[in-house]
Amino acid sequence: MKKILITGAAGFLGSHLSDRFIKEGYEVIGMDNLITGSMDNIEHLMPLEEFTFYHHDVSKFVHVPGDLHYILHFASPASPIDYLKMPIQTLKVGSLGTHNLLGLAKAKNARMLIASTSEVYGDPLVNPQPEEYWGNVNPVGPRGVYDEAKRFQEAMTMAYHTYHGLETRIVRIFNTYGPRMRFNDGRALPAFFWQAMTNEDITVFGDGSQTRAFCYVDDLVEGIFRLLFSDYSQPVNIGNPDEISILQAAQEVVDLVDGTTSKIVFKGLPKDDPKVRRPDITKAKEILNWSPTVDRAEGLRRTYDYFKTKINN
Ligand code: UDP
């Protein structure tokens, strides 16, 4: 049985990836230090013999006994309010954590895929963003701790690939949503759902004209699965190119939530908030034969169904 280590396994993406690899017949080792992840997300996996959980911070030396075939490095605070609260840990998991895991991958001769991000493009000056775009990042701004850790992570991973010949894959993940996001993680969609479901004001930052393109989590997981088993070691964007304004996203949530009396209000725009963002997915289409299949109306309905189960917990 092939063995895969998934870091950040108790998080939003890590837990969905754990589900997928269990379903595909892999032995999954989930690792998480639970600073933003939650055991609720993997509770259903805990009784399984094919799943083992290690409560561990991958910024410290990582030990895994026996064979290991694949590593997916998904541990990191990943929303602006989380990495503002935990700037040093965010920098460490992207840099020291990545280095530890690359060392482990080398020792085990495992293939390693890292979760990079559209944030490597910063506040982009081209739209949509192709992988060849180098980005417009402020290293000392509030988002710098995340953006620069992820940029370092890509550089380090590429160095292990070219210098040590390690098998590596780099996915650049654009805004993703779906079940298991935390209501309070500070991201736009969970914040809007929480506000609409509790009849609070919907806080749109700025005038809401900034854009994002939201990908449903199942589509993202499929793209990552295909990338891992491809032979392509350059970065690949995975995201849904359906770009909308944040004001429109807020309106769609209000329209979806039954009986809400919430009104949209406008708050200050956070520093360095990207004005536009949209993936160019030409590479994913050509190399992985991947494109998203869940449209936003459907994805938001599924996400709403999940949040309904969480509102009283
Ligand atoms: N946003 C907002 N209200 C909120 C939370 C976020 O208007 O309560 C905006 C935020 O300023 C950004 C967009 O929604 O322009 C997406 O923010 P998110 O935190 O989801 O992710 P980002 O793409 O900025 O990393």
- 146 among known catalytic residues: yes
Rounded CA-CA distance 186/28 in Å is 29
Residue owning tokens 């064979």: 67
CA distance linking residue 42 with residue 20, whole number of Å: 12
* Predicted confidence (pLDDT) per residue in 87-110, tens digit: 999 999 999 999 999 999 999 999
pLDDT in tens, 33-47: 999 999 999 999 999
CA of 288 to the centre of ligand 1 (A): 29
User: Rounded mean pLDDT of the chain?
Assistant: 97
Handedness of CA 228, 38, 182, 60 (dihedral sign): negative
- pLDDT grade for 312, boundaries at 50, 70 and 90: confident
User: Virtual CA dihedral for 170, 136, 92, 45, nearest 10 degrees?
Assistant: -40
Q: Which residues contact 103 (CB under 8 A, 6 or more apart)?
A: none
Is the model's pLDDT at 313 over the cut of 80? Answer: no
Residues 6+ apart with CB under 8 A from 129: 118, 121, 237, 277, 278, 279, 280
Q: What is the DSSP secondary structure assignment for residue 97, as one 8-state letter?
A: I
Residue 72, classed as helix, strand or coil, is: strand
CATH fold of 3-177+215-240+278-293 reads Rossmann fold (3.40.50)
Are the beta carbons of 210 and 246 closer than 8 angstroms?
yes
Candidate from 17-21, 79-83, 137-141, 233-237 with smallest mean pLDDT: 79-83
Between the CA of residue 37 and those of 50, 74, 120, what are the distances in Å? 20, 11, 23
Q: Which residues are near ligand 1 (CB < 6 Å)?
A: 79-80, 175, 186-188, 191, 203-205, 210, 212, 246, 270, 273
Residue nearest to atom 1 of ligand 1 (CA): 188
H or E element, residue 170: strand 168-173
Alpha carbon distances (Å) from 190 to 60, 72, 182, 219, 303: 31, 25, 7, 18, 9
If you average pLDDT over residues 53-77, what whole number do you get?
98
Q: At what angle do helices 246-256 and 296-310 cross, to 10 degrees?
A: 60
3-class DSSP state of 52? strand
The 10 Å Cβ neighbour count of residue 101 is 28
Where in the chain are the domains?
3-177+215-240+278-293
3-class secondary structure, 309: helix
Ligand 1, atom 24, lies closest to the CA of 273
Q: What's the pTM?
A: 0.97
Q: Considering 26, 83, 121, 146, which one is annotated as catalytic?
A: 146
